[in-house]
Chains A and B, each alone.
Chain A
Amino acid sequence: MGQLSGPTDPTADARWEHSHPRKGFFTDTSICIGCKACEVACKEWNHNPQDGDLELLGSSYDNTGELGASTWRHVAFIEQGQERIIEARESGRALVNLGMPRIGPPTQSAPAPTNLAEADTTPPDTADFRWLMSSDVCKHCTHAGCLDVCPTGALFRTEFGTVVVQDDVCNGCGTCVAGCPFGVIERRSNGTVKVATSREEQHANHPEVPNVGIAQKCTLCYDRLVADETPACAKACPTTSIKFGDHDDMVETARERVSALHAQGLTEARLYGANENDGVGGTGSVFLLLDEPEVYGLPPDPRVPTADLPRMYRRAGMAVAGMAAAAALAFLGGRA
């Protein structure tokens, strides 16, 4: 067991003896076009079944809804008017003015920054309006709530610093579902896999719902990583909005990108998960967002519940002592 909170190297904490660099994503939502190629590539590669019924959710172009047992990439669509854009720009500027501590020398801002704050970013034929699109994914936290609370050891820390479920070990107790501060992992209960008509004869080999009753989430394509391949979503992303690489490089890239956007006057840009002093010790998947995290359905101040576990055990110990004392008093005290 490594430490329960604060900055650390999760791979070393998990006693991996070789030195694979920690892998991670950097999802730059400023260049996401909402094509959902990542969702499709993820489903295809991981053989994830259909998630519930096909239905229109009435939330812009997002009919996927949320991350879940069978949805390991989810593209959020948010439609915003001019006022909200100004608000986002202000809240982002406030973050810059906080002067967050950072590591390493300050990066040079992009060469010859052109100020785009006043630029006309209006898409054709729409009024003052913007679309936010963001591909969400498991954060592969430094201190992963799901991994900490898993009683069977089904969830484990890989040599790449990611968090993966072993579906032959998980017994579907569901503790991890409640343990995740981001609402990522879920127990699979529904969905169907349809085999292409041309391969109909293989249908018998595919259970209608694979791994039902088992907690499922993004593996950062563990099976591809061990073969030195890029995860399916990053491979499929046509705009390089989803970048994959060594975690340190991803954080550095994210910091360069956000300062470049700030230099262009786009102060609404901010990073999510790049701070190793946050409540989950930094995330393996770093995001560049253009508004407050809750707008994208992300928690504004997540904290891994296990960080408070020693305190909880102490309180429980006191309660146990109290119960024993009450029982002793009940037998030894008067009135009986």
Chain B
Amino acid sequence: MTLSEFDSFRPAEPARRRRQDGKRGPGRRRDNGDGSREMPMVPEQEFTSYYGRPVVKPAPWGDDVAIYLFLGGVAAGSALLGAGGQLTGRPTLCRNARLGALAAVGGGAVALVKDLGRPERFLHMLRTFKVTSPMSVGSWILSAFSAGAGVSAVAEIDRMSGHRLPLGPLRKVLQAVEGPAGIEAAVFAGPLAAYTAVLLGDTATPTWNAAHEELPFVFVSSACLASAGLAMVTTPVREAGPARNLAVLGVVGDVVAMKVMERRMDPIAAEPLHQGKAGAMLKWSERLAVAGGLGALLGGRNRVVAAASGLALLAASALTRFGVFEAGIASAKDPRYTIEPQKNRLAARRAAGVTGDAITTGS
């Protein structure tokens, strides 16, 4: 259809994609809706978009947030190991886990603040408490956790430095609250590891939202195996037994939760988890987790094997977080992942006779 002599100046139109097998299923269609070429007459389940532009906007978050997802998990698991070491008389494990928790949560908090549009206003996070906002709930969890992790770690630093920290009369206070502070951090450890999954799930970003049922299990498992990995790196094998156990449990949870998540998610919204950079990262994450878990299980009493397994587990957790993060961002950037699952669920509801809850109405 020629409209005018100036048509030759139009930019090239994106090539139309077809399924390789030639079947017309819920495939994608990039026809621009402009009538410039033949269109199939069965519009149902076909994919149309406005010039291929995204419908939802990706979160304006950089790698800092993915780093925080990782470090927050490391901190949370470390606080649990620290409290366990404290209660079961494993002073080295307790010390290393407490220091690890403080370092991780400190680094994570810096990454979070750095990612804000207005970093100087980071304290605005604490000007209210909103249960509908996972970010608000998480800010309070992070603050409460940091208090306990900070106090218990400072007590360790004071002990390591031969009581040289300029604490004066506060040293007695510190030594008195050190134990309770470690337990307090452990109480907030689980919420710290899990809230980030709710934070991602409670968005309109297709892949994250579709994953909201299982993502908390993936994230706490990832936190367990990462913190256990850190403890296996830092702590002699004699005291690292619980870390090895936690590593194995974390790996099992991580692999199982990830599989269940991918199976229960909307199949289209799950695609970004298998494609591109995110797909590669998640694939390697699983391999490293299994390798690290096997290392902890079979060779964890060898210092070298334990350290290598620990590093593999840390890398696995980082890759899980970056992979899930990247998959979500990618899903928001492609309108297909917003439009197709929504059209499918709308059609499914209509087929089931539910017609009263569509945003588009004939009257």
Residues of A at the B interface (CB closer than 8 Å) are: 1, 4, 57-60, 62, 65-66, 68, 76, 78-84, 87, 90-92, 95-102, 126-127, 129, 145, 148-154, 169-175, 177-189, 212-215, 255, 258-259, 262, 270-275, 277-280, 283, 289, 291-302, 305-306, 308-309, 311-313, 315-324, 326-331, 333, 335-336
Contacts and interface: CB of A to CB of B under 8 A. Distances in A.
Contacts of B350: 98
Interface in B114-162: 115-119, 121-122, 124-125, 127-128, 130-136, 138-139
Given A301-B346, A309-B202, A318-B216, A151 B50 contact: no
Interface string B84-120: 1001100000000000000000000000000111110
B135 A173 contact: yes
24 contacts: A1-B130, A59-B50, A59-B51, A60-B34, A66-B53, A90-B43, A95-B360, A101-B355, A150-B135, A151-B128, A151-B133, A172-B116, A178-B203, A182-B55, A278-B358, A294-B55, A296-B50, A300-B339, A308-B212, A311-B213, A312-B216, A315-B212, A323-B194, A326-B249
Contact of A275 (B121, B203, B241, B357): B357
Given A181-B204, A318-B216, A323-B223, A293 B359 contact: yes
Given A299-B338, A330-B243, A320 B57 contact: no
B219 interface: yes
Contact of A278 (B11, B60, B357): B357
B56 to A, nearest CB: 4
A152 B198 contact: no
Interface string B34-57: 111011010100011111011111
B297 to A, nearest CB: 9
Contacts of A294: 47-50, 55, 335, 339, 343
Contact of A331 (B88, B122, B224, B339): B88
A330 B357 contact: no
Interface string B51-90: 1011111111100000000000000110011001001100
Contacts of B224: 323, 326-327
Contact of A170 (B39, B118, B220, B223): B118
B279 interface: no
B189 interface: yes
Contacts of A177: 57-60
List the 7 closest pairs (A to B, CB-CB), nearest first. Answer: A172-B117, A81-B35, A213-B117, A336-B241, A297-B50, A320-B190, A95-B362
Given A145-B203, A172-B117, A173-B125, 16 more contacts: A98-B350, A100-B355, A129-B3, A173-B135, A174-B59, A175-B59, A179-B204, A270-B361, A275-B356, A294-B47, A294-B55, A297-B55, A297-B335, A300-B343, A301-B359, A330-B249
B246 interface: yes
B242 A316 contact: no
Interface string B9-45: 0110000000000000000000011111011010100
B197 interface: yes
A58 B203 CA distance: 31
Nearest to A79: B34
Interface in B192-223: 193-195, 197-199, 201-205, 208-209, 212-214, 216-217, 219-221, 223
B136 A151 contact: yes
A308 B48 CA distance: 27
B180 to A, nearest CB: 18
B245 interface: yes
Given A173-B125, A182-B56, A323-B223, A80 B33 contact: yes
A171 B139 CA distance: 13
A213 B197 contact: no
Nearest to A319: B216
A65 B76 CA distance: 43
B133 A150 contact: yes
A272 B361 CA distance: 6
Contacts of A258: 362-363
B328 to A, nearest CB: 8
B136 to A, nearest CB: 4
A183 B55 contact: yes
B91 to A, nearest CB: 14
A278 B342 CA distance: 13
Contacts of B332: 178
B132 A171 contact: no
A91 B44 CA distance: 9
B321 interface: no
A293 B209 CA distance: 21
B362 A65 contact: no
B292 interface: no
Contacts of A311: 212-213
A171 B35 contact: no
Most buried by B among A129, A179, A184, A323: A323
A222 B359 CA distance: 26
A85 to B, nearest CB: 8
A318 B49 CA distance: 38
Nearest to B249: A326
A275 B193 CA distance: 38
A273 B203 contact: no
A307 B18 CA distance: 36
Contact of A299 (B208, B253, B342): B342
Given A100-B361, A152-B128, A292-B43, A319 B35 contact: no
B346 to A, nearest CB: 4
B199 A175 contact: yes
A84 B130 contact: no
